[in-house]
Amino acid sequence: MKDFTKKSKLRLYFNSERIYQICLTIALIFLIFLCIYPLIYVVSASFMSAEEWFARGGVFLIPHRPTLEAYRIVLSQTNFYKSLLVSVARSTIAPILGTFMNAIAGYMLSRKDLIGKKVISIFLFITLIYGGGLIPSYLVIEATGLRNTFWVYIIPGLLGAWGTLVFRQTFLSTPIEIEESAKLDGASELTLLFRIMLPINMPTVAVMLLFGAVGHWNAWFDAFMYIDSNNTNLIPVQLYLKNAFSSADQSTTGVLLHTETQKMVIAVIGILPILCVYPFFQKYFTKGVYMGASKG
């Protein structure tokens, strides 16, 4: 009787587990579809003619008559290439310099003999909670002469509290034996940082670089605030995309596009670089973030 009861409980458990797994799989498939459908929608729309777009009412997955006409029109825009170059430049230069500065600041705060370390850490933490506001930021950018220059994308974000604290926790989590061994061999602080600490914590470096690149690639508000609209040489691709989506008709200068399909082309080109870069960094995400947070 006991064996029968035990078998019944096991059978009930496995049946419940199977139902749970099936429900979980269905829910995940549904969530994946919700995430993928907008991307498929945008890509499909980019290959549609304007006539098919309006005829089908904008709800579709596969175009009936694919065409590259919208791509030809978009890629013939000189200002689009300028915007693309600006975004590529800021998404490359800013993350590298920012990661470099945050690594140095984080290493300094991880040193036990740094004078005023607690005070600096408190000020950094305060900046994570409170910001100066939009108007003070604009006045500072204006006063420093960064407005309408490429460096307005780079200098204000060179040193960040979040990145500094992540590097600090990463260096604190590194085994102290490695540091002591290097110092016994005569390694200086710079040698210890650039030849030992950073190489063995490359996952954190990779995560910071990717976060910075994605953030700068998607940024548009700083350009909207600090770059004049007629200064097309400094407008990033995301602001170009915003202007295209907010424009109902083609402008007299030919900068903005007038059809929905051409707007979708800009959206596809805007997200394609990040989709290509992300898989190469994905393996570093979990490992890098946990390495930086494993020790307080």
**What gap in Å lies between CA 168 and CA 161, rounded to an integer?**
10
Instruction: Give the Cβ contact number of residue 260 at 10 Å.
Output: 16
**Residue 11 pLDDT level (bands cut at 50, 70, 90):** low
Is 64 a domain residue? no
Amino acid sitting at position 256: L
At residue 83, does pLDDT exceed 70?
A: yes
**What gap in Å lies between CA 223 and CA 165, rounded to an integer?**
27
Residue tagged 């989709």 (tokens): 275
CATH of the domain at 182: 1.10.3720.10
Is 109 a domain residue? yes
Domain co-membership, 167 together with 269: yes
Domain co-membership, 285 together with 175: yes
Query: pTM of the entire structure?
Result: 0.75
Average pLDDT of span 121-147:
87
The first and second tokens of residue 103, run together, are 């690594």
Domain co-membership, 27 together with 173: no
| Choice between 274 and 43, residue whose per-residue pLDDT is larger | 43
Average pLDDT of span 271-281:
77
The first and second tokens of residue 223, run together, are 């350009």
What integer pLDDT is reported at residue 250 of this predicted model? 47
What integer pLDDT is reported at residue 216 of this predicted model? 92
Domain co-membership, 22 together with 83: no
Residue tagged 């990717």 (tokens): 210
Domain co-membership, 133 together with 190: yes
Is 26 a domain residue? yes
Q: Where are the alpha helices (DSSP H) in the chain?
A: 2-46, 50-56, 69-75, 78-110, 117-129, 134-143, 161-173, 176-184, 189-191, 198-200, 202-218, 221-226, 237-245, 260-293
pLDDT digits (tens, 9 = 90+) for 220-263: 899 999 998 888 889 998 888 788 767 644 443 334 444 677 77
Amino acid sitting at position 210: L
What integer pLDDT is reported at residue 147 of this predicted model? 92
| Choice between 285 and 174, residue whose per-residue pLDDT is larger | 174
Domain co-membership, 24 together with 125: no
Domain count, the chain: 2
**Residue 34 pLDDT level (bands cut at 50, 70, 90):** confident
Is 50 a domain residue? yes
Residue 111 is inside which H or E element, if any? none
What integer pLDDT is reported at residue 296 of this predicted model? 43
Is 130 a domain residue? yes
Q: Which domain holds residue 206?
A: 77-293
pLDDT digits (tens, 9 = 90+) for 47-81: 887 777 777 766 667 778 888 888 888 888 888 88
Domain co-membership, 83 together with 147: yes
